[in-house]
Amino acid sequence: MTELSIVLPVFNEAENIPIVAGEVLAVIDQMSVPAEILFVDDGSTDGSVDAIAAVMAKDARVRLLRMKAHAGLTAAFDAGYANSTGRIVVTMDADLQNDPWDIGALLEALKTADAAVGWRVQRHDHWRKRVSSRIANAIRTRMLGDDVIDSACSLRALHRHCLEALLPYNGLHRFVPTLLRASGFRVTQVPVRHRPRRFGSSKFGVSNRAVRAFVDLLAVKWLLRRRLHYQVDEVPASKFRAVP
């Protein structure tokens, strides 16, 4: 098994691919660990696949999965989880806003935790997106009762055994830390950098995310409330044997 898998969902990020691939390869070269980079193309139409193919031709550690049709970020992450081979799985965006050099801090945090999730200390997004994220995080914290600062940050690292807690339902990529904690895993939060977008445009905004995110939040709240909680002990047969 590979030591480290780095999963990057892609949707129309052709200009960013060569740069982010070079940065991630530089990070794993410095770590000197067996690693793979797994790009998951979610139906791109801008030449992203050709850009990934060019990187693959130069480095055997780079792999490509192609969704047959655009299926969304949760599906892309899930496909990456299912097809990765690493003992540790790292996820991050392919748009250059996550800094691959923060991966080291996440892996360091895994020494005492099952999963490490990033929180973007200084966001470099449009002010409307920053405000909407603050509001969404406040509502999520109030409704779910957890202290996750930046639940939607894609930069995360987790031991492979954590994948069983990540339900394959659309929209639940926003609640990875909450789902992990609900399953009893130790989750730590790590401050990470956030960079301005250089190429392309954001695929998420206030108008196309707010309602869906709230519906997903209600679904997660329902799941947490309906989760089974019980304790059981096995009774040995010797307990019922007659004493001679």
Reading the block at residue 2, the tokens are 């590979």
Q: Which CATH number characterizes residue 19's domain?
A: 3.90.550.10
Domain assignment present for 65: yes
The answer to whether residues 86 and 157 touch, using CB atoms and an 8 Å cutoff, is no
Residue 162 pLDDT > 90, yes or no?
Answer: yes
- Does 244 reside within a domain? no
In this structure, is residue 117 part of a structural domain? Answer: yes
Contact 5/38 with Cβ under 8 angstroms?
yes
Read out DSSP for 72-89?
A: -HHHHHHHHHHH--EEEE
Q: Which of 200, 155, 194 shows the shortest CA–CA distance to 51?
A: 200
The torsion angle over the Cα atoms of residues 168, 144, 140 and 10, rounded to 10 degrees, is -20
Residue 153: name the closest of 184, 115, 127, 185 by CA: 115
How do residues 66-108 score in pLDDT, each as one tens digit?
A: 999 999 999 999 999 999 999 999 999 999 999 999 999 999 9
In this predicted structure, what is the pLDDT of residue 56?
A: 97
- Residue 60 placed within a domain: yes
Domain limits at 145? 2-230
The CA distance from 197 to 203, in Å, is: 12
* Any domain includes 226: yes
Q: Which of 38, 116, 113, 118 is nearest to 81 (CA)?
A: 38
Domain-located, residue 242: no
46 within domain boundaries: yes
* 161 within some domain: yes
- Number of domains comprising the chain: 1
41-55, 136-150, 157-171: least confidently modelled range:
136-150
